[in-house]
Amino acid sequence: MSGPSAEFDECLATVTAHIQARHHGLSDIPTLPTPDAVQNTISQLPAALPTTGLGTKATTSYLMDTLLPGCLQAQNGPRYFGFVVGGTTEASQLAEILGGSYDENAHSTLPGVTASSAIEQRTLEMILDLLAIPRDVYGGRTLTTGATASNVLGLACARDHLYANSPHLPKGYSYAQEGPPSDVNIPGPPIVLLTLHPHFSLVKSAGLVGLGSGPRVVQTMPSAPGDELAFDLDALRDRLEAEKKIGRGVIVCYGMGEVNTGGFGRGLESVAKLSREYGAWLHVDAAFGGFAAVVPEFRHLTKGIDLADSLTLDGHKWLNVPYDCGIFFTRTSQSLLKVFAPPAASAPAYLSAGINSSSRTDRPSTEIIHELVPIPLYVNIENSRRFRALPLFASLLSLGQDGYADIVRRNVLFARKIATYISISSDYELLNSSASVSGASSEGKDAIVPLNIVLFRGSATSKFPPTDPTASARLAQTINDTRIMYVSGTKWRGQGSIRLAVSNWRTGGGGEEEFDVVRKVFEQVMQ
């Protein structure tokens, strides 16, 4: 195969028609494939690499007719309520197709060659605009594969900052360059993470950056009286003071939007003040909860988000752009460059940015000086990276502030409508009423659930009573087997429960008829 083929044109038309039909019918597509479809796909995988290829047309048909029917059918549909998964907005879906077609490796800053790094910078500035955070608050910015990668960046930046400022080491000690120090005076472990309800991605990231992921390193702090999602500030102060006396580094990890309940603890501003007072690094994991800031009436839930030393967000959650897309912010680009950029003497010459000597210094603040944009591979894990900024930029541009505020509002209202139904049903028990999970605000107390997540289980008089340890898992399976909607099983306070997360741009705009589909599933599985 030496050039474009007629097969491509024919297959492109077929694929385009398939995408178009799926896009228009997504609300009616079953959420899951049948077990038989999954098994059929697996059974028809090739046993080995073929000696002679099938060609473009046969391969495309094989993908559409054999492989895809056994994969998730409507994860980006309006009734897939598992794992805080968004959908793909129309603009982002089209941009993703275009991005794959252009196939740019957006790994470097090349003024006069490609604008991709400048587009990424503006996209990240627009995210800050969306969250009402001044652009100059977070000078270190990059796009990642997701919240886990963003948490890796945050903990790596924290690690190097704390080692560089350790009283046991020379000022400016670089863990990234020198590796673990051997000074016998360094306490063990040298750095601890103080948390409340850490997401697994944070624990995983702590192990990846060499801090450790066990309980000696990732330590759970006491929560505030009456608010299990907020730090007990007195206990935090005592702990920070004790760690400072022995010269141990501390990363305070604050979760914004608890994964099971969607709840928000109070006191981030106070946590930030204590962290700065005692030299701790404050990392905020706001993968989905941070986007409450998009809506003015929910913005109080994210108060203090601009005080973090590092901040994790996820684009493929509530921003509804295609997988994969994580977002990372930190105070300065130097925090990232110190960890991920090579020493100047060993920087790969072929990856260096081309400097345009005609660059001006009198440009308006809204104009990007391309020559000054950090090289993406020097502020991130990846050397090779797809142009993931393009779908995110397209979605932000197409919807704007008002469009995203509408999505968040509709999703929250829909979740609260489901929560209201569950709270009055004799068959179900609501587990995350606002009063039971957060004391964050009077507005939060008035709302039935904190935001867009509904946590529930079967009632004591239902077919799935909580006295049966298998009940919640069986109930989740029964709901999902309808293939009309999808929920995920979890545990809260040590007991089995079910989580329903509403974060799709299509959800919440269909009126009573849309809600009735969900209500009928809840009724059907109890019959």
* Residue 416 falls inside a structural domain: no
Whether the pLDDT of residue 438 is over 90: the answer is: no
- Distance, in Å, from the CA atom of 170 to the CA atom of 167, rounded to the nearest integer, reads 8
Q: What is the mean pLDDT of residues 9-27?
A: 96
How many domains is the chain built from?
Answer: 1
* Residue 231 falls inside a structural domain: yes
| Residues of the chain above pLDDT 70, percent | 95
C-beta neighbour count of 214 within 10 angstroms: 12
Q: What is the mean pLDDT of residues 445-467?
A: 94
For residue range 483-521, what is the model confidence (pLDDT) as tens digits? Answer: 999 999 999 988 999 999 999 999 999 889 999 999 999
Q: What is the mean pLDDT of residues 163-176?
A: 96
Whether the pLDDT of residue 357 is over 60: the answer is: no
CB of 108 within 8 A of CB of 377? Answer: yes
* Residue 128 falls inside a structural domain: yes
Instruction: Characterize the bridge pairing of strands 453-458 and 249-255.
Output: unpaired
Whether the pLDDT of residue 358 is over 50: the answer is: no
Q: What is the pLDDT of residue 362?
A: 43
Whether the pLDDT of residue 162 is over 50: the answer is: yes
Identify whether 225 is preceded by a cis peptide bond (ω within 30 of 0). Answer: no
* Residue 464 falls inside a structural domain: no
Whether the pLDDT of residue 182 is over 90: the answer is: no
Mean pLDDT lowest among 116-125, 298-307, 440-449: 440-449
Catalogue the E-assigned strands of 413-474.
428-430, 453-458
State if pTM tops 0.85.
yes
Q: What is the mean pLDDT of residues 454-472?
A: 97
* Residue 277 falls inside a structural domain: yes
SS3 of 389, please? helix
Q: Which domain holds residue 273?
A: 116-391
Q: What is the pLDDT of residue 319?
A: 98
* Residue 200 falls inside a structural domain: yes
Instruction: Characterize the bridge pairing of strands 453-458 and 428-430.
Output: antiparallel
For residue range 63-114, what is the model confidence (pLDDT) as tens digits? Answer: 999 999 999 999 999 999 998 899 999 999 999 999 999 999 999 999 999 9
Averaged pLDDT of the chain: 93
What does the buried/exposed string (b/e) look like for 158-169 if buried means 16 or more CB atoms within 10 Å of the residue's CB? bbbbbbbebebb
Q: What is the pLDDT of residue 352?
A: 57
For residue range 207-220, what is the model confidence (pLDDT) as tens digits? Answer: 999 999 999 999 99
* Residue 291 falls inside a structural domain: yes
Q: What is the pLDDT of residue 298?
A: 96
HEC secondary structure over 180-240: CCCCCCCCCCCEEEEECCCCHHHHHHHHHCCCCCCCCCEEECCEECCEEEEECHHHHHHHH
Mean pLDDT lowest among 149-158, 400-409, 426-435: 426-435
For residue range 313-347, what is the model confidence (pLDDT) as tens digits? Answer: 999 999 999 999 999 999 999 999 999 998 876 77
Give backbone dihedrals phi and psi of 110, rounded to 5 degrees, phi first.
-130, 80
Q: What is the pLDDT of residue 436?
A: 77
Opening angle at CA 522, ends 521 and 523, nearest 5: 90
CB of 34 within 8 A of CB of 84? Answer: no
Q: What is the pLDDT of residue 363?
A: 45
| Residues of the chain above pLDDT 90, percent | 87
Q: How far apart are the first and last CA of the chain?
A: 59
- Distance, in Å, from the CA atom of 195 to the CA atom of 231, rounded to the nearest integer, reads 8
Whether the pLDDT of residue 443 is over 80: the answer is: no
Mean pLDDT lowest among 180-194, 319-333, 364-378, 416-430: 364-378
* Residue 215 falls inside a structural domain: yes
- Distance, in Å, from the CA atom of 324 to the CA atom of 146, rounded to the nearest integer, reads 6
Instruction: Characterize the bridge pairing of strands 249-255 and 281-285.
Output: parallel
Among residues 329, 246, 346, the alpha carbon closest in space to that of 287 is found at 329
The amino acid at 79: R
Whether the pLDDT of residue 275 is over 50: the answer is: yes
**Domain of residue 258, CATH code:** 3.40.640.10
